Amino acid sequence: MEYFFYYIEPNVGLELITKCEAMGRAAAKGGTRSKVYFVDDYVVIKANLSIKDTRPVSKVRDKVPFDEVVKRLNMLKNGGVNVVPILGYAYDPDNIYDIYGKLAYASGYIIEPKAMGKELWNEKDFDDKKYVLERIRMFAQAPQEQYNKFVKDFIAIVDAGIFIDPVEENFFYDEINGFSFIDLNTIADKGQTELNMQSLQSFYRKIAHEKFIEKKDLTDEEREAVIQNNNQIFEKYQKALSTVNIL
Ligand SMILES: Nc1ncnc2c1ncn2[C@@H]1O[C@H](COP(=O)(O)OP(=O)(O)O)[C@@H](O)[C@H]1O
Ligand SMILES: [Mg+2]
């Protein structure tokens, strides 16, 4: 195993990987591209790392080594931005395979601290009416400062050249610590930067889970509460946007 444990002790990192292997497939949470293991206070993500010159890069089109992503995330974290950093990664150099002839891929591991709170939304939640109503109410009541910080952090990440994959499962919310960002492992190209700035403009729709009101069989009171809560989320979000300069 070749490892690059920048912000975690090598013996701790290796032990986490051993434990994750012992847990087996069943213990993993499936992401879209990866398997995620919760070990001790950490998260071990088993994924295909694309490597070039024996160093992982985050995506085929990237020319920036994966180490650069790790470094930038750590800088953001140290600057007070609510990103979940990558502490280190590892892969087996004897088990590398080519896909497009040029770039080699290796099955490897990424180690991160656990994000605080829960996913903003998960599709699995959407059938649970009570949960959704309660969560929308919680977002409506979240302090203005948490919205301001979300917007500020979002821009800081984009400014650092990191791509935010803006799906609900890649944001966490904790009542005390507010919003945080996970699944940050790609350097953004120009199009992705623009896409990110667009998604920032309308992200309140995702926080408010706007489609809920169309889909669900709600009582009049519930519907009224959702409308009011959504308005409140919208107002706080717009106010947060007005605290920053965006083009
Ligand atoms: N650091 C973390 N803390 C808590 N949960 C995490 C963390 N990283 C991943 N997860 C969970 O695993 C899911 C998939 O991980 P993610 O990094 O988004 O991989 P994918 O690229 O497959 O989407 C996330 O939506 C989240 O629920
Ligand atoms: Mg994800």
pLDDT in tens, 57-91: 555 455 567 788 899 999 999 999 999 999 999 98
Which helix (H) or strand (E) element contains residue 48? strand 42-52
> Considering every ligand atom, which ligand is closest to the CA of 33?
1
Do residues 73 and 136 share a domain? no
Beta carbon of 119 within 6 Å of any ligand 1 atom: yes
- Cα–ligand 1 centroid distance for 82 (angstroms): 15
Question: What letters, b where the CB count within 10 A reaches 16 and e where it falls short, cover 129-162?
Answer: eeebbebbeebbebeeebbbbbbbbbbbbbebbb
Categorize the per-residue pLDDT at 247 as very low, low, confident or very high, splitting at 50, 70 and 90. Answer: low
Q: Which ligand is nearest to the CA of 45?
A: 1
Q: Are 133 and 93 within one domain? A: no
Identify the residue whose tokens are 């140290």. 78
CB 166 near ligand 1, within 6 Å? no
Ligand nearest to the CA of 122: 1
Which one-letter DSSP state was computed for residue 202? T
Distance between Cα 11 and ligand 1 center (Å)? 23
**For 4-8, 48-52, 159-163, which range has the lowest pLDDT when averaged over its residues?**
48-52
Range of the domain at 227: 118-242
Residues 143 and 104 grouped into a single domain: no
CA distance 150 to 207: 11
pTM of the model: 0.93
211-230 in b/e burial notation, b at 16+ Cβ within 10 A? ebeeeeebeeebeebbeebb
Q: Is 174 in the pocket of ligand 1 (CB under 6 A)?
A: no
Both tokens of 210, joined, read 């706007």
Out of 67, 98, 113, a domain closes at 113
Q: CA of 115: how far to CAs of 59, 61, 108, 141, 183, in Å?
A: 23, 28, 21, 21, 11
47 lines ligand 1 (CB under 6 A): no
Ligand 1, pocket-test mutation among 33, 38, 45, most atoms within 8 A of CB: 45
Does residue 180 share a domain with residue 133?
yes
Q: Both 69 and 139 in a single domain?
A: no
The CB of 84 under 6 Å from ligand 1? The reply is yes
Does one domain contain both 40 and 79?
A: yes
Mean pLDDT, range 139-166, rounded to an integer? 97
If asked whether residues 153 and 134 sit together in one domain, one would say yes
Ligand 1 centroid – CA 52 distance (Å): 24
Residue 176 in tokens: 């005390």
Alpha carbon of 182 to ligand 1 centroid (Å): 7
* Whether 36 and 94 share a structural domain: yes
Residue 228 within a domain: yes
Is 43 near ligand 1, meaning CB less than 6 Å away? yes
Same domain, 106 and 142: no
81 and 125 housed in the same domain: no
Residue 101 pLDDT exceeds 60:
no
- Between 13 and 56, residue with greater pLDDT: 13
- Of 78, 113, 148, which closes a domain? 113
Q: How many CB atoms lie within 10 A of CB 37?
A: 22
> What is the identity of the amino acid at 149?
K
Rounded Cα–Cα distance for residues 168 and 105 (Å): 28
Query: At a CB cut-off of 8 Å and minimum separation 6, what does 151 contact?
Result: 200, 237, 240, 241, 243, 244
Is the minimum distance from the CB of 115 to ligand 1 under 6 angstroms? yes
103 burial level (CB within 10 Å; 0-12, 13-18, 19+): middle
- Of the three residues 113, 148, 182, the one that is the final residue of a domain is 113
Lowest mean pLDDT among 49-58, 79-88, 205-214, 228-237: 49-58
Instruction: Let me know whether 108 and 177 are in one domain.
Output: no
Assigned domain for 247 exists: no
